[in-house]
Amino acid sequence: MSLDAFPGALRVEDYVKRTYDACLQHGLVSEKTLAMVGVCRDELTDALTEPIRAAWGPPFRMSGMAGMLFLGQAGLRAAQFHAPGADGRQRYVVYAMPHIGIDDDGRVGYVHRPGQDVTTTACGALMAFRSELESGRVNSEVDPYDLEMSLMRQRLLRSISYGTVPSIVGLTTIARDVILDDLGRTAARMHSWSGADIGVFSGIHIHTSDGDYVQPGHSSVRVAGSGDNPVDI
């Protein structure tokens, strides 16, 4: 198992601790902060959600297939008055990222799940979409009975050059950036968030047989009134 494709990856517990410490330096303490998590529906992502829960308390779930943020403005609005805020300030810490597996043969995009004899894909949705791109047959219509997959295809296609097939690491990186972009655009519509303190943590969650890792991506803490502070994770 090699993490060569993910320089800077940290064990998931270290990652969450570092993000917690970075938030603490800007006054975001767990008792006064609502955690929000946007990860894939895959149960493997619990390996990230659980340390977040241990650090911050039960998170508001933004999750969608592949970690895409399909909850929209109304979904975010549902969380806007959940932050503790007794001292007159609202504080949020948001973790939003896709995931990927590496199996024991070093195959990226695959994972050995407990109790299974074979390896399966992770992220299954991104791997399936990549196979469609490879086959040259991508259904870009919205199927009401396959909504999240349809929306994921549509959204990612906007960020992929026509006719190209990114590697699974490339596609996961595109998903990471799309998720962060969608978070920013949706949050910008939330008037109540303009006066809130918000930590935002993006990256890629990696499953291996040696445990789970996160390659940190965009990491910042915005304190209302003093702007965005990029933080080193």
**Which is nearer to Zn ion, 42 or 103 (by Cβ)?**
42
Among the residue ranges 22-30, 115-123, 131-139, 170-178, the one whose residues contact Zn ion (CB under 5 A): 115-123
Q: In angstroms, what is the minimal distance from the CB of 193 to Zn ion?
A: 27
DSSP string, 126-193: HHHHHHHHHHT----S--TTSHHHHHHHHHHHTTS-TT----HHHHHHHHHHHHHHHHHHHHTT-HHH
Q: Does 212 bind Zn ion (CB under 5 A)?
A: no
Token look-up 């962060």 returns 180
Q: Does 103 bind Zn ion (CB under 5 A)?
A: no
Q: β-pairing, 119-121 with 110-112?
A: antiparallel
**Which is nearer to Zn ion, 20 or 95 (by Cβ)?**
95
Q: Does 123 bind Zn ion (CB under 5 A)?
A: yes
Cis peptide before 40 (omega within 30 of 0): no
Residues 19-48 touching Zn ion, rule: CB under 5 A, are: 40, 42
Among the residue ranges 46-54, 122-130, 133-141, 181-189, the one whose residues contact Zn ion (CB under 5 A): 122-130
Rounded Cα distance between 127 and 111, Å, is 12
Q: In angstroms, what is the minimal distance from the CB of 45 to Zn ion?
A: 7
Q: Do 18 and 199 meet the contact criterion of CB atoms below 8 Å apart?
A: no
Among the residue ranges 72-80, 118-126, 191-199, 209-217, the one whose residues contact Zn ion (CB under 5 A): 118-126
**Which is nearer to Zn ion, 29 or 157 (by Cβ)?**
157
**Which is nearer to Zn ion, 23 or 133 (by Cβ)?**
133
DSSP label of 37 = E
Q: Which amino acid is at 211?
A: G
> Which residues bind to Zn ion, rule: CB under 5 A?
40, 42, 123
